[in-house]
């Protein structure tokens, strides 16, 4: 080895691929936390309903999250140019209607302790 040069060994640990069908995002002054979840309903061995929840958390600085958002926006725009506009499914639209109705009903009953997200607040956009 040449004098003054050092060798560096780099090892990359690959994680398992992960499908997410729900995402929660939390913020504090120094971090933005993405909690990617995969929720599946299954029948267990006792023939009872069960829910399997897997989740992976990604924590970013606000600056890194903003860069990530810009890249994601560009990738989605490229995807839509290539494959067409991404639209909500009929099931997502129906869920939005149900959530709007539930929010309206809760508002009418003046229940301030009910925490129902309106469709504009969902991660589907």
User: Which tens digits make up the pLDDT trace of 12-51?
Assistant: 888 788 899 889 999 999 999 999 999 888 877 777 788 8
Higher pLDDT, 114 or 54: 54
Domain membership flag for residue 42: yes
85-104: pLDDT as tens digits: 999 999 989 998 998 998 88
Segment 103-120, tens digit of pLDDT: 888 888 765 554 555 545
3-state secondary structure the chain: CCCCCCCCCCCCCCCCCCCCCEEEEEEECCEEEEEEEEEEEEECCCCCEEEEEEEEEEEECHHHHHHHHHHHHHHHHHHHHHHCCCCCCHHHHHHHHHHHHHHHHHHHCCCCCCCCCCHHHCCCC
Q: Is residue 75 part of a domain?
A: yes
Q: Quick one: 108 and 68 in the same domain?
A: yes
- Would you say residue 25 lies in a domain? yes
Number of domains comprising the chain: 2
Q: What pLDDT does 61 receive?
A: 97
In terms of domains, do 94 and 53 share one? no
Task: Let me know whether 74 and 47 are in one domain.
Answer: no
Average pLDDT, the chain: 84
Structural domain harbouring 53: 15-60
């Amino acid at each position: 080895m040449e004098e003054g040069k050092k060798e560096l060994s780099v090892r990359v640990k690959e994680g398992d691929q992960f499908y997410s069908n729900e995402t929660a995002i939390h913020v504090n002054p120094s971090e933005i936390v993405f909690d990617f979840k995969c929720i599946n309903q299954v029948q267990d061995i006792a023939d009872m309903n069960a829910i399997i929840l897997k989740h992976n958390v990604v924590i970013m600085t606000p600056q890194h999250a903003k860069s990530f958002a810009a890249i994601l926006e560009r990738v989605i725009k490229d995807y839509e140019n290539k494959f067409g506009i991404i639209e909500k499914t009929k099931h997502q639209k129906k869920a939005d209607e149900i959530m709007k109705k539930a929010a309206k009903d809760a508002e009418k009953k003046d229940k301030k302790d009910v925490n129902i997200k309106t469709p504009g607040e969902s991660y589907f956009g």
